[in-house]
Amino acid sequence: MEKINDKLLNWATVLEPTTRDQAVQTSRMPFIYPHLALMPDAHLGMGATVGSVIPTLGAVIPAAVGVDIGCGMIAVRTQFTASQLPPDRAPVRRAIEAAVPLSAGVQNKDITREHTAVRITDLEQLAQKSGFDPASHLRRWRLQLGTLGSGNHFIEISLDEQDRVWLFLHSGSRGVGNKIAQHHIKVAQKLCTKWWIPLPHRDLAYLVEGTDEFRSYIDQLRWAQHFALLNREEMMDRVVTCFADWVGAAVQEADRINCHHNYTEVERHFGKRVWVSRKGAINAESGRPGLIPGSMGTASYVVVGKGDPLSLNSSPHGAGRSFSRSRARKTFTHEQLREAMVGIEYRDTDAFIDEIPQAYKDIDQVMADAADLVQVQHTLRQIVNVKGD
């Protein structure tokens, strides 16, 4: 761990100068307490650094959570081992692609599954209790429950160190969460302008606890976080069904872990109640299970938190990008992507060049940097990968 200044501690051994500068800038906001914790996967983000843990007193920065509110991971360990799987993996990949709508802006055609309707009712009741209508942000939000999205979101079938089969996926609050985040980021910016509050960057605009704007954001943030959690549960139920049909037997779940890595919660650290915004970080309090994925062709990890107080009980959320998407597409080729994905069943398209493993930090280095933050329980290697364009 490196102490960059009194308000910024860093666990990343690989840290771009621009990323460091951005984290320093955020750490100097007057309400940071006790300090900002920079995770091993840190890279440049909107306003605040992706891979940072930002504790605040009496205020929240909507952009410090990001626009994919509640984004995170879910994993299920099945009773199956590699030797029990059919040799042809293409059918299960295609089945998952048919069951879970992929890519940005895509939605379900209608609501036909009972478990989907139950989750939608849960979300409707929570929205009513919070006093807002999610349709004011995105009319079709109900049809997006159970959809993946694009970018680094994925669904995978993986094997652990004992060749046991895991089902693993990554997604968040989809279009409705994005709209909620964008709305409140703009509200914060307008208020800071109205109150003549100087900001080092406009995306560090904040909302003050006790105001109507703050309460509205927190209520809608919590709703979007719950949507994201249920979205992952919904997709996992569909993936389990596809997998069971492929192997010809029902799935018995040995473990199920569901965790956010873009979210805000009230916690107590160093004697004070603070709002902790984890932007690309997971809760790693002592004994808490968590998930840290690599890229689409590298290892992922099932971990348990060590409860390191200086990290604010946090750990990295993944490998972290080392190339921007545009730079990756200019640097790498379709053939290099194919080489990186040897042995993995995936949809072979150049649409995924910007997701090539070489565009990310070395996950082994990230996990080495996180040795004081989490204990690795299982190391996963994917055999099937599903992504949206």
Can you give the residue ranges of every domain in the chain?
2-386
Q: How confident is the model at residue 321 (pLDDT cuts 50, 70, 90)?
A: confident
Predicted local confidence at residue 177, as pLDDT: 95
Distance CA 273, CA 115 (A): 37
Predicted local confidence at residue 388, as pLDDT: 87
Catalytic residues: 317
The H or E element containing residue 175 is: helix 174-194
Residues 53 and 31: beta-carbon distance below 8 Å: no
**How much of the chain exceeds pLDDT 70, in percent?**
100
Among 77, 255, 258, residue whose Cα is nearest residue 165: 77
SS3 189: helix
Q: Which residue has the tokens 């009496």?
A: 58
What would be the CATH architecture of the domain defined by 2-386?
Answer: Alpha-Beta Complex (3.90)
Residues 279 and 48: beta-carbon distance below 8 Å: yes
* Per-residue pLDDT at 106 exceeds 90: no
pTM comes to 0.95
Strand intervals (E) in 103-230: 154-159, 164-171, 207-208
Burial category of 51 from C-beta neighbours within 10 Å (exposed 0-12, middle 13-18, buried 19 and up): buried
pLDDT in tens, 110-130: 888 888 999 999 999 999 999
The more confidently predicted of residues 233 and 323 is 233
Among 322, 69, 99, residue whose Cα is nearest residue 172: 69
| N residues, the chain | 389
* Arithmetic mean of pLDDT over the chain: 94
Strand intervals (E) in 232-373: 255-260, 262-269, 272-279, 281-283, 289-292, 300-305, 314-316
Q: Determine the average pLDDT of the residues in 1-28.
A: 95
Q: Is the dihedral of CA 152, 156, 159, 165 positive or negative?
A: positive
pLDDT in tens, 128-152: 999 999 999 999 999 999 999 988 8
Predicted local confidence at residue 36, as pLDDT: 98
* Per-residue pLDDT at 245 exceeds 90: yes
The H or E element containing residue 114 is: helix 114-130
* Per-residue pLDDT at 322 exceeds 90: no
Residues 188 and 216: beta-carbon distance below 8 Å: no
Distance CA 7, CA 19 (A): 16
* Numbers of helices and strands, H then E, in the chain: 9, 17
Predicted local confidence at residue 54, as pLDDT: 98
The strand pair at 8-10 and 36-43 is best described as parallel
Q: Which amino acid is at 27?
A: S
Residues 381 and 299: beta-carbon distance below 8 Å: yes
* Per-residue pLDDT at 2 exceeds 90: yes
